[in-house]
A = this chain, B = another copy of it.
Amino acid sequence: MSSVSGKIFQIATFGESHGPAIGVVIDGVPAQLPLSAEEIQRELDRRRPGQSDLSTARNESDLVEILSGVYEGKTTGTPIALVVANCDQRPGAYDKLREQFRPSHADFTYIAKYGFRNPEGGGRASARETIARVAAGAVAKKVLKQLAPDLDFSCYVESVADICMDADENFYDRSVIDASPTRCPVPAVADAMAAKIKAIRASGDSLGGTVRCKIRGVPAGWGEPVFDRLEADLAKAMLSIPATKGFEIGSGFAGTLMTGSQHNDPFVIGEDKKIHTASNRSGGIQGGISNGEVINFRVAFKPTPTIAKTQQSVDVRGNACEVVGKGRHDPCVLPRAVPIVEAMAALTLVEHALRQRATAPIL
């Protein structure tokens, strides 16, 4: 029941790293939405490995096919099934790892839960699972564009290890973000990040970092107190991404150091004659509901657990063992995490947009 998400815009994902395919069924998409495989592919291409020399050398083309729910270029209102075949299957590379519990991977807990696991490429615990999220997110974005034409994302790598952008309120365009393979929009910082990632790869180790996500054009009124507050659903969406360790909205943990009079966002009448807040420590959400300002949050990603160094561990029989890193993995997942964060944010927003459509006052 846990690979299904959403109540109205509902997705069901499936697939293992080295199985025949990975995919998603999307139910609840309004009919008559123009949709093509090319649009979905564009989002997947931002996620796939091998985009730059900072990423894994795996060659995964990750081509999406639409199996249902679209007719003559438009959605029919019935479930949309998207499938990406797995091409580059090299199960042999993982053979020795079948019986070892890799540190800070899901090997041990999958055995604890299911008593049995598919070890090839991490099985269901592989980050390839996020292909389905990005594909579904592409559809979510299209629906959002219909409901809120000004809605736009500025999602980028804010830090890699201790290389960190200064906090700012710029709304970086996607073209600026994608200009660097690090997906950091400030060139000097991006260069430092790239250098650090190359160095850590050379040393056989890995790095973590943070992704910043800003979303503008979200109308006031999305989000549902008390349990499905917009920031709560965003937090869940982000912490459901592999390797995440934290989430902050608006002022976040730093906000705990301020007083109320420093922290409160005064309401003002803006140049557009509409009500705004003079500051945005709320991160665009108040009382669990969007207030029309830029939604602004940050997500922490731990360093990739797969490293080339030899590590001490235990095997399935409870014996000490040495885990020797093989496989082909990213020394730093941050650049490729950006489209995943965006996709999960889009899925969260579209759910709340449709809920608001369902239960808005009937006037």
Query: Which positions 248-280 of chain A face chain B at CB distance < 8 Å?
Result: 248-253, 255-269, 273, 275, 277
Contact A109 B221 (CB under 8 A): yes
- Chain A count of residues within 8 A CB distance of the other chain: 160
Please, what's the 1-or-0 string for A75-103, where 1 marks a CB less than 8 Å from any CB in chain B?
Answer: 01111110100000000000000000101
- C-alpha spacing A225/B252, complex, angstroms: 26
In the complex, what residues of B have CB within 8 A of residue A259's CB? 161, 200, 205-207, 303
In the complex, what residues of B have CB within 8 A of residue A301's CB? 256
Contact A109 B286 (CB under 8 A): yes
Closest B residue to A77 by beta carbon equals B114
Contact B240 A227 (CB under 8 A): yes
- C-alpha spacing A265/B107, complex, angstroms: 13
Most B CB within 10 A of own CB, among A5, A110, A113, A207: A113
Q: Interface of chain A, helix or strand or loop or mixed?
A: mixed
- Pick the contact of A19 from B68, B354, B363 — CB < 8 Å? B68
Contact A14 B113 (CB under 8 A): no
- The yes or no answer to A105 lying at the interface (CB within 8 A) is yes
Contact B67 A15 (CB under 8 A): yes
- The yes or no answer to A62 lying at the interface (CB within 8 A) is no
Please give the distance in Å from A211's CB to the nearest CB on chain B.
10
Given known pairs A104-B264, A109-B291, A113-B220, the reply for A302 and B118 (CB within 8 Å) is no
Please give the distance in Å from A327's CB to the nearest CB on chain B.
13
- The yes or no answer to A32 lying at the interface (CB within 8 A) is yes
In the complex, what residues of B have CB within 8 A of residue A147's CB? 362
In the complex, what residues of B have CB within 8 A of residue A300's CB? 248, 252-253, 255-256
In the complex, what residues of B have CB within 8 A of residue A103's CB? 264-267, 277
In the complex, what residues of B have CB within 8 A of residue A285's CB? 109
Contact A245 B252 (CB under 8 A): yes
Contact B239 A245 (CB under 8 A): no
- C-alpha spacing A32/B116, complex, angstroms: 7
Most B CB within 10 A of own CB, among A65, A107, A355: A355
In the complex, what residues of B have CB within 8 A of residue A6's CB? 1
- The yes or no answer to A305 lying at the interface (CB within 8 A) is yes
In the complex, what residues of B have CB within 8 A of residue A206's CB? 259-261
Contact A81 B247 (CB under 8 A): no
- The yes or no answer to A175 lying at the interface (CB within 8 A) is no
- The yes or no answer to A357 lying at the interface (CB within 8 A) is yes
- The yes or no answer to A27 lying at the interface (CB within 8 A) is yes
In the complex, what residues of B have CB within 8 A of residue A360's CB? 30, 113
Most B CB within 10 A of own CB, among A7, A117, A267, A286: A267
Given contacts A32-B114, A236-B239, A251-B302, 13 further A-B contacts (CB under 8 A): A1-B7, A1-B224, A3-B79, A8-B355, A20-B65, A71-B117, A105-B286, A105-B287, A245-B251, A247-B247, A261-B309, A263-B302, A275-B318
